[in-house]
Structures are given as C-alpha cells and as structure tokens.
Chain A
Amino acid sequence: MTAPVAISLMVNNERVEAHVLPRLNLADFLREHLKLTGTHVGCEHGVCGACTVRVEGEIVRSCLMLAVQVDGASVETIEGLSDSGEIADLQAAFRDRNALQCGFCTPGMLMAAQDLLRENRRPAREEIREHLSGNYCRCTGYQAIIDAVENTARARLERSA
C-alpha cells in the first residue's frame, strides 16, 4: 500500500490526474508535480503560512495535507487567483504600499487576506491582524500589509457603492 495512489482533482479549474505516493504533501505535489511554484514551502509544519492554498473554497495549509487527501476536491493556488484577476486590486495595493520585500510570504498572505475580504467587507485593523496572524513575514513588520488589506477593503466597498 506504500505504492502510488491514483488521484483526480481540480486545480485552478483544470482537471488533474496523477499517481502520488501517500507521503507526498499537497504543497510538494503542487510545486514538484504541477510546477505551480507560487505556493511556497517554509516551515513544513503548519506554522509559517507560506503554503496557504484553498481547498473546496477554504484556506488550508498545503504542507499539512497529503496529496491523496485532495482526491476529488477542488484546489485553488495563488496562480489561479492571480490569473483570474480575483485579487488584482489586492496585489496592486500590496505593491503600492510596499507590503512585500523578499516576497516569500506574499502568496500565503494574499490567500489569507482574500479569504478575510470575502467573508468580511469591512474588517477592522484588529480583525485583519487576527486573520493574518498565522502568516509570518520577516521583512515588512506587518504594518504595510495591514494597510494594503485595509485599503483594498475600502476600495472594494467604494466600487460596489
């Protein structure tokens, strides 16, 4: 049973079929097998948040899921959110506000921030801080990231008004 297992899933709205070893985690599957290297691997034990992706629409740590567990599921990565334009404004706000330097944490930050903005159109700074508390950034000191998320929320509200 340590042999490869067949899985079939949707990744960024495209059907993917593969054979994977049970020990392969979702982050490595995305990066090594599908070459979707926007999902970053930092700590590999669920602390840093760099590997955050969506499974069935909800954010998860892809280093804490096995690839075999997403058989039949829908996975969205930063490439999907970026290419669809879903977070174009959030990405622009990160750029404008210098909310990234080295960029290692940025894909995970964007995933977590967009998750918050989808469920809370008017997040307070404290709520932004809380929602991003599981994502480490070693460059920015976080203030600029909170600013960028706050600005995006405000701009989206104005656009929809």
Chain B
Amino acid sequence: MKASAFAYARATSVANALELLAVHGEKARVLSGGQSLIPAMNLRLVSPELIVDIGDLRELRGIAVKGEMLVIGALTRHADLLKSSHIVKCAPLLAAAAAHVAHPAIRNRGTVGGSLAQADPASELPACMLALGATMVVRGPTGERRIAAEDFFTGIYETKLAPEDLLVAVELPVARKGSAHFFQEFARRHGDYAIVGLAAQARLEGDNFADLQLGYFAVGDKPVLAKAAAKLTGVAIAPALLAEAAAALSDELDPHEDQQATAAMRRHLAKVLLTRCVATLLNRPDLHAGGSA
C-alpha cells in the first residue's frame, strides 16, 4: 500500500526540529532512517500529519570516544556500527548485534536513535543498551536531560520520550579490561525479528563473573535486564547453580504468545540462551548441557 498524505518539513537544526515538534505534538513524527516508520506508514498503521525529517542534521551523526564515555549520535546507522573501530574497541556487543538487524540495504538506512525511539520489543539495540548500561540523551522544550536505558523503555513501542522530545545521542561506558560479550538470537531466518534474543555484557575475574548483564529481547512488551544474572556473579559456577539461575530466569520472565512461539517456548529458549552465554563466556563446555534448543 501507499502512505496517506502528510506534510513534510526538513529540519535545519536540532532547535528547528524541536520547534516543529513543539508546535505539532502528537500529529508529527520524526523521520530518521525510516526503516520502521515508512513501512508502518505504507501499511497505514500510522498516519502522521507532519513528517519532521532530521536526516540532514549532521550534528547527530557519528561515534566518538570522550574519556571513559562512548557517544553515539542518534543518526548513526546500523551499517556504521559494523564499520566503526570505536565500536569494535569500546562496545563490540553493538557490532555483534547490528549484524542481526535485518539486511544490508536496511542497515544502510536504519539508525541507532530510530531503533531506540521506536522501541520494538523484538529489536536488538534496546536490549544491548540495557546490558551496556547506556544513557539516552534527550532534548525537549525544557532543554537536555539524560535517561538511563533501564528507565527509558516503558512498553511496546513506548518510551519516556514525549512527542515534543528528540533523542539526540546515547552514551555508553567504554568497555573495561576483562570485558566480554555474547549475542545470540533465535529467528526463523537470519535478519528476521527474533523469537527470543540475548545481548549480554560481562566482566570476568579469573574463572568467575565479576559482573554479568543479561539483556533479553522479544520476551515481552519491552527488553528485560534479567535479575537472575545476580546469582551468577562473584561465585564459581557449577551446573546446579546454572540450573538454579535458569529456573529463576524462567520465573522472572513473562513472555507473550504470538504466531511465532508460545510463552513456554520463549521461556525455554531464554534458558537455552542463558546456558550458551555462560558456557561460552566462561569457556566451560561442561556447562553446555541444556544448551541445545
């Protein structure tokens, strides 16, 4: 189908974009890479009256390291995540995740800010941001504010962003020594939306986890930072403990049922990913029992 008629404004600056959003509020939508918004418009799931195109705002592009902080501009594309040496060095989890986002032609347009603001519970980057302890940098009518990733995602396609707000960047702590990451998802085909996925960031000390952050996606109405991870930090991990953590994970998750999977299947796959993650990061093949789907 074709999108219904709308007015179009190309923002000339962040201030200009904010002015437009302040005037038009919920009737306007921000166009970034358009890889979620345009299909939704073509399918007539959304029919904004005004499109505010931020594609020309160069100040929102690019990846920079500022001290201990990695700053990713909202207009940075998925393809840029895959090519950036900063990402490889400071947040390799994001490159691993980006490879699972759709296909090359989509990754050439889709943006980090767009994906986060869209907040599709099955998409990869929101869960990564939880695991990495990211902070969203948001500008609105009253100025700039920062929102922790854990507070940012509030529901299916819902975030703390108000209609007048613009997500301008995301800040991440640079990966420390001993950092390791794990990314895997179950999908019908590579590039499809995940049935269940896990984006994990860890810090290893000897044979144990000093820190473990498990960002699950496609397990409910928003990405989940699993509390079960706490059971696995600072201790030697035996199969029994891993099983205990998996049971806690299963209790903690409240997955949805859809045409792809039942809630029980999602719980099962989430546990499989936990096992694979722990066995892989600790290089413990003996823990792999239960790691096959």
Contact = CB atoms under 8 A, between A and B. Distances in A.
Interface stretch (A9-17, A19-27, A99-107, A148-156): A19-27
Contacts, number: 91
B49 to A, nearest CB: 9
Interface in A42-61: 44-46, 49, 52, 58-61
Pick from A2, A5, A64, A69 the residue with the most CB of B within 10 Å.
A64
A59 B103 CA distance: 10
A5 B104 contact: no
B42 A133 contact: no
Pick from A46, A115, A116, A131 the residue with the most CB of B within 10 Å.
A46
A59 B105 contact: yes
B2 A28 contact: yes
A60 B6 contact: no
B106 A1 contact: no
A65 B109 contact: yes
B283 interface: no
A128 B4 CA distance: 37
A1 B7 contact: yes
A45 B44 CA distance: 11
B263 interface: no
- Give chain A's interface secondary structure class: mixed
A80 interface: no
Nearest to B37: A64
A107 to B, nearest CB: 13
B48 to A, nearest CB: 11
A23 B5 contact: yes
B106 A134 contact: yes
Given A23-B2, A45-B43, A61 B8 contact: no
B230 to A, nearest CB: 36
A59 B104 contact: yes
Contacts of B141: none
Interface of B: 1-10, 31, 34-35, 38-39, 42-43, 50-51, 53, 55, 79, 102-106, 108-109, 189-191
A137 interface: no
Contacts of A23: 2-6
A115 B103 CA distance: 12
A146 B3 CA distance: 34
A66 interface: yes
B104 A131 contact: yes
Interface residues of A, number: 31
A68 B7 CA distance: 11
A72 to B, nearest CB: 9
Nearest to A116: B104
A52 B107 CA distance: 13
A145 interface: no
Given A28-B2, A46-B35, A64-B34, 20 more contacts: A1-B8, A22-B8, A23-B2, A23-B3, A23-B4, A23-B5, A44-B1, A44-B42, A60-B105, A60-B108, A61-B109, A63-B38, A64-B106, A66-B31, A68-B8, A112-B104, A131-B104, A134-B104, A134-B106, A135-B103
Given A60-B105, A130-B190, A133-B191, A69 B7 contact: no
A61 B108 CA distance: 9
A58 B79 CA distance: 10
26 contacts: A2-B5, A21-B5, A22-B5, A23-B4, A44-B1, A46-B102, A46-B106, A49-B105, A58-B79, A61-B35, A64-B34, A64-B39, A64-B109, A65-B34, A65-B38, A65-B109, A66-B38, A68-B8, A68-B53, A69-B55, A133-B103, A134-B104, A134-B105, A134-B106, A134-B191, A135-B103
